[in-house]
């Protein structure tokens, strides 16, 4: 049996503290402080106790939704009640609401770090880490020429598709470290601010349209100049990071939806039959991470070299080297919607330019 009191520091700092750090003024901080300082500990009022008994009865009656409602009522009256957070966490976990369930277990551990259910609460958190839907962090922009970036949390996801093309197989589990990625594709204005040229074919589309007709080598030159100018370390996302950002913890066919037209400019909606074009960035709906045009608009170069399938692919989110061509992801304004699927891969040589090829930036977080 693990000594829960001995693990308190680990629990608080590795599990609880990050959640509280995201919300330094969380009113629950005061609840915890007052409860831990109270001697003797408070007891449930009669009204809160009634909701507790009713919730337990609804659990027996196999009505979890009603039970959760009643536990929430009790906790609204007595937010310091550890057992209520634990029981509510269990029910939320059974309902696969893993993020909310994790929060309740963290609150239980804050209130009762050496409580009778502390080990069970910690174990549940460990289990739900594998399936909890990640949430994007803050946005930042580090210079006038820099793109808007979105911080993404660490997480794991199933990369590829066993129902797609051969090069999308096998589906495999990948674990990603925290990183930041561009909220949009790099625009023509952002490219010109650094390179003082505009290679795009569709210059009349405007400054806020994605830069295109750039090769992988061109992108590396841009990144080198941007980093020299800003003192930062921008880079291309790895292929695994790109797909993780695209999927955003969800299971949609495209990056943010099962309906391609809602999130992607493609050959069906980007103009007339003979006059399709790219469009200004961020004019379709974003995905759950708040990222735009991950499907459609322009193909996006990533760091990795291309391999015919995922046999032997890295599982730590790093770039896969060793091939002769580089990977592009996401489809484009000039391709059918199916090319914007989350798992679809494209490839070309590093010096190849096309007026549907662009990119977005990434940056490793400290």
Domain 8-128: assigned CATH number: 1.25.40.10
Question: How many C-alpha atoms does 11 have within 13 Å on its Cβ side?
Answer: 27
- Residue 202 in 3-state DSSP? coil
In order along its 366 residues, the chain shows pLDDT tens digits of: 333 333 433 333 333 433 333 334 568 999 999 999 999 999 999 999 999 999 999 999 999 999 999 999 999 999 999 999 999 999 999 998 887 899 999 999 999 999 999 999 999 999 988 777 787 889 999 999 999 999 999 888 999 999 999 999 999 999 999 999 999 999 999 999 999 999 999 999 999 999 999 999 999 999 999 999 999 999 999 999 999 999 998 889 999 999 999 999 999 999 987 799 999 999 999 999 999 999 999 999 999 999 999 999 999 999 999 999 999 999 999 999 999 999 999 999 999 999 999 999 999 998
Closest CA to 156 of 134, 137, 135: 134
Query: In this predicted structure, what is the pLDDT of residue 339?
Result: 98
Closest CA to 84 of 94, 93, 74: 74
- Comparing 8-128 with 139-364, is the CATH topology the same? no
Question: pTM value?
Answer: 0.70
CATH topology (fold) of 139-364: 3.90.1580
Provide the pLDDT for residue 176: 94
pLDDT of residue 25: 54
The residues spanned by each domain of the chain are: 8-128, 139-364
Residue 44 gets the label, from left (phi > 0), alpha (psi -120 to 50) or beta, of beta
How far is Cα 154 from Cα 171, in angstroms, rounded to an integer?
A: 19
Any alpha helices (H) in 133-199, and if so which ranges? 188-195
Q: Is the omega angle on the peptide bond into residue 170 within 30 degrees of 0, that is, cis?
A: yes
């Amino acid at each position: 049996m693990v000594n829960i009191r001995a693990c308190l520091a680990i629990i608080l700092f590795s599990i609880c503290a990050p959640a509280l750090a995201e919300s330094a003024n969380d009113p629950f901080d005061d609840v915890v402080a007052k409860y831990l300082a109270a001697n003797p500990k408070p007891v449930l009022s009669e009204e809160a106790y009634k909701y507790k008994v009713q919730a337990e009865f609804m659990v027996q009656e196999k009505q979890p939704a009603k039970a959760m409602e009643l536990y929430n009522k009790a906790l609204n009256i007595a937010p310091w009640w550890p057992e209520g957070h634990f029981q509510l966490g269990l029910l939320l976990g059974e309902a696969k609401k893993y993020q909310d369930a994790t929060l309740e277990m963290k609150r239980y551990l804050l209130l009762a770090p050496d409580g009778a259910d502390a080990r069970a609460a910690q174990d549940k958190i460990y289990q739900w880490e594998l399936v909890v839907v990640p949430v994007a962090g803050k946005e930042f922009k580090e210079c006038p020429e820099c793109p808007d970036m979105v911080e993404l949390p660490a997480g794991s996801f199933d990369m590829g598709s066993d129902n797609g093309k051969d090069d999308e197989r096998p589906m495999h589990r990948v674990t990603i470290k925290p990183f930041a990625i561009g909220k949009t594709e790099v625009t023509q204005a952002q490219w010109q601010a650094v390179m003082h040229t505009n290679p795009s074919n569709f210059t009349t589309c405007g400054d806020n349209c994605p830069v295109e007709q750039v090769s992988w080598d061109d992108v590396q030159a841009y990144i080198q100049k941007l980093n020299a100018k800003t003192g930062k370390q921008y880079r291309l996302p790895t292929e695994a990071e790109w797909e993780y950002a695209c999927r955003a913890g969800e299971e949609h066919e495209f990056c943010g939806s099962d309906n391609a037209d809602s999130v992607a400019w493609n050959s069906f909606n980007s103009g007339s039959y003979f006059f399709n074009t790219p469009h200004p960035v961020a004019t379709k709906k974003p995905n759950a991470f708040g990222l735009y045009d991950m499907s459609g608009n322009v193909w996006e170069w990533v760091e990795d070299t291309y391999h015919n399938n995922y046999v032997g692919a890295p599982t730590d989110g790093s770039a896969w080297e060793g091939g002769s061509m580089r990977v592009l992801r996401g489809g484009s304004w000039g391709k059918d919607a199916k090319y914007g699927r989350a798992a679809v891969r494209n490839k070309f040589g590093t010096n190849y330019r096309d007026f549907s090829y662009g990119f977005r930036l990434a940056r490793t977080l400290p």
